Structure 1
């Protein structure tokens, strides 16, 4: 069969499957030839490998762009048998980058096409993405069973790790697995579950966390620093600052918000309510922007413990996080110094500052100082 005709039949099969015409799709794919489809071009395979590498570094948006190009190449050539895996991986990358709607679309398409092509690996990847979305959004079917379940690590290390995350969202982990066999990216979550359940970590667990800070990739190291900040007696601020610095080179907004949530929880526990409020407000606003409902609610519960007002708004109409940034910048402090004081990344400070400028109708830091004349020229 000519390659051009095979391509058209393959694309028609994919369209029929996504339209719900499963019987017709299967017939079209059989006509295209179950084994005669040309293999994906080398650039596509290389893009998938590179995207996985970028995800391991925490650069989810870059990975998503690579996988978008790979998907376009597969659609163009009609090589639909590799599409489910590419779409499933892109869904995971987009979910990690905070684009939950697009991630859900990719996971759904991946499952439909995997049912047509028989790609079992893509089914697993797509289900992982859907579970991650359910954990972020707080779907009761997932959170309700997470606290009491024994995580099936041997069968599905990533799926088991996601249930650890669900247990943390529900704040009720009970049965927990041994450290051995846990996917490395979820090891800090497992140790946080143990910390919540047992009110402390063993020397071996602390050693495992410290080992991750030295040897693991950026996302895992940042999570390890975050959990160390929750449990260490001294140097908690340094642990959280290290986690924030690592996030300046990554596109993981949910993970970064968890750093601020954990730091706020630690500060509140240590009695520093004012500093805790800033961290918890930052976390709450980030979770709200992501649609991560249970995590936003958790930040709000912590804020209640700091005597946070109901509105949580500054008199100027800014959000609390924006107000804190504006208040410090108005004193003449640089972006980098502001970020260091608030344990934010410089890009997060610039993001808040841009919103401050728009809301207050100013276009420079000098004009901002006039909005806070009592602070101009003073150290915050």
Structure 2
């Protein structure tokens, strides 16, 4: 079925799971033979336990035969493959950009005919390769590509393939087991012996084939030997071990060399054998025993045979094998593998080997292999004779492990590094990393205290790093918000004001951010505005020096722009983050950037486009297995007036945030509920939602909450609370100086003013909001002005404002606010016009996004690169788009009125 679907232009993915020896590899071999006979191109990769520390080794196995087609890829994807495979220098590629490159590479090859990718022993793939292949497996759809994986159940650790279609293999039934056993033995067996072997094999085919070979004469004669208590895989491995134990000494050593070098390169094996004085004739007994085959490549009968041979060898023989492989490996062509083998050949410590391995760690880190770099550094530390240098390398390994997402491993390495000796700066960096891990692990309140303590310690040692740590403490305290059990933003600000080292000259963007936030929470909102505006200007520039890494602070800067009602900076930062993530293929940061951009688009009135981006976030979440970010979806549902959806999201988000101690999410959720209830005209509920962020002065949510509070309080009969909020809002808006902030303040004054002066404020609000990006608030200004005019008895003037509000809000999709405008219009005696259904209404959010991009003239390949899909998938979507819009070409799409 999969073969037919692939030939017809569809993809297929299957993960075959089961214990060692259950037949997974046999299924892959059968698939290879069947596919080859049907015209498939078949490419393979096999994970090897000894290879798990070599970044992208498994991916290179699969892709190496295809790299002649790499020139067809977009330049960033070509560069990513070249850097990852060590073929060119350049910045470390985002791991999932490689996924897109591999997806496009396979899709391009599949244009010539269907492709089958077989990946065996996935549990032993290096982490980087496994993540890339999992991404590809979740993105194939319209390509003629089939991915077939085999993974052993018993290996612990994260499973990047979780959630993909799978088939689990169970053992053979009794009659089939007997038939296979009879075939394996070839002579009649005592019935008791037969029953015992079948019982111990538990239906495992490889066990049924191997256990009789390793059985003693006593067992085969009558079954009186005492059975061993071991799992089936262990019994199979023991069988392979016993079989190799009877081979000549030189043959056993040759087997150890073959087991220690997982690339399977026969020429390398023979060079290493020559280093040991072993001739080619020594291979014959091993091949005759059925343990391995040597041709152009070296093949073990089963991965368990490889591990059995290696682990059965004495440590001296293992070291001899690795030393020979190091000597036989070309130091120019493969310096990292040579360094690894050399490191494994050392007994005790060896600074030269440690230094070589540390240099390799630097190279693999530059290729994006942080997990491999951590492993190399950890081994380098073990080999380092000098205690101080050993502690330094262990600390570096901890940073690399944390960067690779292995926080538990990083904490273990930190504990080893803490044994020292470390100098004062290294001790401070150790505590900083420990604090960063605590924050990233919980996002709760403990991280701020730890980060603040680390910043204080770093102050006299490394001023620049100390200032960055203070900003990280601000981030952590911001996350904890009102649920903080440690240091809140005010406490962090007071500490920074008193103890942070002075900024360099000229100050970096992060320095301006630190000084502005410190001022905000020590001297007040108004005093902080000038410095924070300078910080936003610096962060909005694209020409910052690379060493400043301003991208680290974009997330916090977006919240500063919200606090200042700086809609231009918010748009620039969010759109820049999306653009940079797309250009670099940073799929790990793209969802957060798209989430921020979706919030911007909601407020600019482009709710359909926001939905398109959230659809893309969903696709990325499915591809990466990461949970989707809910806050933009919540804001969108609130502005659309979808009460049941918004309420359900609120309940789930608040419960999760409360459990984690993440108070900022409570403020964000309350603001969204205030949007919802003001749109529905449920003013007491809106007031109840908007009050807590304002009273707590939540950063940055109080700026979003106060306009909602004023509208709700003025309509719910609480003029005193509304008046107090208006006074504070007006003061902050004047300090901010943005048209957005001043427009909101004018609208708030209009809502709380009695008599003719109110109209002056309404008109000012419309004028100012008309000069900013936030079209939703402009439409609402028309709405409240129209409501006020109707209450003044000026029905004709009211109709004009309400009609404008209704048309704007309806076109945006702000359904609850539009319904509120419609009710007011009807109260003036006018029936609001219903929005005419459009052909584009039939498009899904993803189809609408693709249509919009293609309408600008983008090719399928360009759209595919932006949306992390393949060109063939884009073409499949286009066929659906053409059918729904009743058009036949891209030219027609360019002329079609898209929303």
TM-score (norm 1): 0.65
Once structures 1 and 2 are overlaid, which stretch shifts more, 252-261 or 170-179? 170-179
2:793 to 271, 277, 286: 271
Could you tell me which residue of structure 1 aligns to residue 320 of structure 2? none
1:223 to 734, 744, 768: 744
TM-score (norm 2): 0.30
Could you tell me which residue of structure 2 aligns to residue 209 of structure 1? 729
Residue 196 in structure 1 maps to residue 730 in structure 2: no
For 2:578 and 2:758, the matched residues in 1 are separated by 40
For 1:74 and 1:267, the matched residues in 2 are separated by 52
C-alpha spacing 1:54/1:164, structure 2 compared with 1 (3 Å): closer
Could you tell me which residue of structure 2 aligns to residue 252 of structure 1? 774
Larger relative contact order (CA 8 Å, sep ≥ 6): 1
Structure 2 residue matching 1:94: 3-state secondary structure: helix
Structure 2 residue matching 1:307: 3-state secondary structure: coil
Could you tell me which residue of structure 2 aligns to residue 58 of structure 1? 567
Contact 1:16 1:25 in 2 (8 A): no
Larger radius of gyration: 2
Structure 1 residue matching 2:803: 3-state secondary structure: helix
Residue 103 in structure 1 maps to residue 183 in structure 2: no
C-alpha spacing 1:99/1:64, structure 2 compared with 1 (3 Å): farther
The CA deviation at 1:156 is 2.5
Could you tell me which residue of structure 2 aligns to residue 352 of structure 1? none
Contact 1:146 1:164 in 2 (8 A): no
Residue 287 in structure 1 maps to residue 809 in structure 2: yes
Once structures 1 and 2 are overlaid, which stretch shifts more, 180-189 or 109-118? 109-118
1:45 to 536, 548, 551: 551
The CA deviation at 1:276 is 0.9
For 1:295 and 1:154, the matched residues in 2 are separated by 26
For 1:103 and 1:312, the matched residues in 2 are separated by 23
Contact 1:131 1:162 in 2 (8 A): yes
The CA deviation at 1:23 is 4.2
The CA deviation at 1:24 is 3.4
Could you tell me which residue of structure 2 aligns to residue 299 of structure 1? 821
Could you tell me which residue of structure 2 aligns to residue 232 of structure 1? 753
C-alpha spacing 1:98/1:207, structure 2 compared with 1 (3 Å): closer
Structure 2 residue matching 1:198: 3-state secondary structure: coil
Could you tell me which residue of structure 2 aligns to residue 130 of structure 1? 633
The CA deviation at 1:106 is 2.1
Contact 2:581 2:587 in 1 (8 A): no
The CA deviation at 1:210 is 2.7
The CA deviation at 1:100 is 2.2
The CA deviation at 1:271 is 1.6
For 1:191 and 1:46, the matched residues in 2 are separated by 35
2:706 to 187, 208, 212: 187
For 1:108 and 1:205, the matched residues in 2 are separated by 37
C-alpha spacing 1:112/1:23, structure 2 compared with 1 (3 Å): farther
Contact 1:191 1:201 in 2 (8 A): no
For 1:18 and 1:88, the matched residues in 2 are separated by 20
Correspondences of 1:1-380 after superposition (within 5 Å): 1=55, 3-5=83-85, 7=95, 9-11=98-100, 13=132, 14-17=135-138, 23-24=160-161, 33=369, 35=371, 42=546, 45=551, 48=554, 52=558, 56-59=565-568, 62=572, 65-75=575-585, 79-110=586-617, 113=620, 123=628, 126-142=629-645, 155-172=665-682, 173-174=684-685, 175-176=688-689, 177-178=691-692, 179-181=694-696, 182=698, 183=701, 184-202=703-721, 203-216=723-736, 217-234=738-755, 235-309=757-831
Once structures 1 and 2 are overlaid, which stretch shifts more, 278-287 or 223-232? 223-232
Contact 2:634 2:646 in 1 (8 A): no
For 1:109 and 1:247, the matched residues in 2 are separated by 30
Once structures 1 and 2 are overlaid, which stretch shifts more, 88-97 or 249-258? 88-97
Structure 2 residue matching 1:80: 3-state secondary structure: coil
For 2:596 and 2:818, the matched residues in 1 are separated by 26
Contact 1:64 1:90 in 2 (8 A): yes
C-alpha spacing 1:269/1:169, structure 2 compared with 1 (3 Å): same
C-alpha spacing 1:194/1:81, structure 2 compared with 1 (3 Å): same
For 2:593 and 2:647, the matched residues in 1 are separated by 31
Contact 1:74 1:83 in 2 (8 A): no
RMSD: 4.2
Q: Deviations over 1:88-110 (max 9, x none)?
A: 22222222223323322322433
For 2:833 and 2:733, the matched residues in 1 are separated by 38
Structure 2 residue matching 1:81: 3-state secondary structure: coil
For 1:157 and 1:187, the matched residues in 2 are separated by 12
C-alpha spacing 1:54/1:306, structure 2 compared with 1 (3 Å): same
For 2:800 and 2:649, the matched residues in 1 are separated by 30
For 1:108 and 1:312, the matched residues in 2 are separated by 27
The CA deviation at 1:169 is 1.4
| Structure with higher strand content | 2
Could you tell me which residue of structure 1 aligns to residue 228 of structure 2? none
Contact 1:17 1:113 in 2 (8 A): no
C-alpha spacing 1:17/1:186, structure 2 compared with 1 (3 Å): farther
